[in-house]
Structure 1
Amino acid sequence: MNQTKEMTSKAYFGVSDVAIVILSMDEEERFYFEYVTPSFTTFFNCNLNNLIGSNVFDIFPALPKDLYLMAKNAVINGAKEEYFVSDQILQEPIRITCYQSEPGYCTCFLERYSDYEREYELRLRSFAFQSLVEEASNVVIWYKKKTKKARFHKIDSLFWNLQFLEDDFIRQIVSENIVHPQSKNHFLKLVRLAYNKKQASGDIKLKNNKGNYIYVNIHLYYREEDNPDFSTLMIMIKNIQKEKMEAARIKRMAERDRLTDLYNRGAIEDIITKCLNKNRTKCEKVGVIIIDMDNFRDANNYYGHLYGDKVLIEYSKELAKIFPEETTYIGRTGGDEFLVFLTDVKTDEEVIDKMKQIIKINHKLLVLPHKEFQISTSIGASVANRSETDFSSLFMNADIALYKVKNQGGNSFALYNETDEANRSVEINEKVLERVKPYNPIFLSPYSKLFPQMRKKVNRLLFQMASAFSFQRIYLVNKDNYLEQIWHEPEVTNLVINFDSIGIHELLQEKKMIFYPDIKNNYPTIDEIAKAQGIKSSVLIALFDQDNYLGYIGCNDCRNVREFTENDLKSLGYFAGILAILIQKEE
Structure 2
Amino acid sequence: MSPEETQRLLYGLTLRLVEALDADEFTVRPGYDVGVALVQAHLTDPSVLDRTLQLLGSRFAELFPAAPRRLARLQGGVAAGYVFALRQRTLAEQESLTMAVLDARKQVEQALRVSEARFRALFAGAAIGIGIADTGGAILEVNQAFCEMFGYAEDELGQIKVTELVHPDDAPGLWDQYADLIAGRRDHVRAEKRYFRKDGTVIYTDLAASLIRDDAGRPRFTVAMVEDVTERHELAERLRFQAEHDPLTGLPNRTLFFDRLTAALRHAHDGDARIGLCYLDLDGFKMVNDSLGHAVGDQLLVLVGQRLAQCVARWGHLVARMGGDEFVILLDPPATTADVAEVGQAVLAALREPVHLAGHTLSVSASIGVLAEAAATSTVADLMKAADITLYWAKSDGRARWALFDPERHEREQARYALASAMPAALAQGEFVVEYQPMVRLADAGLIGVEALVRWQHPRLGRLMPDSFVGLAEETGLIVELGRWVLTEACRQAAAWNRDFPDARLVLSVNLAARQARDESIVDDVARVLKETGLPAELLQLELTESAVMSIEGTPLPSLRRLSALGVRIAIDDFGTGYSNLAYLRTLPIQGLKLAGPFVAGLRDQPPDGPAAGQPDEQVLDAL
TM-score (norm 1): 0.50
Bigger strand fraction: 1
Q: Which has the larger radius of gyration?
A: 2
TM-score (norm 2): 0.47
Bigger helix fraction: 2
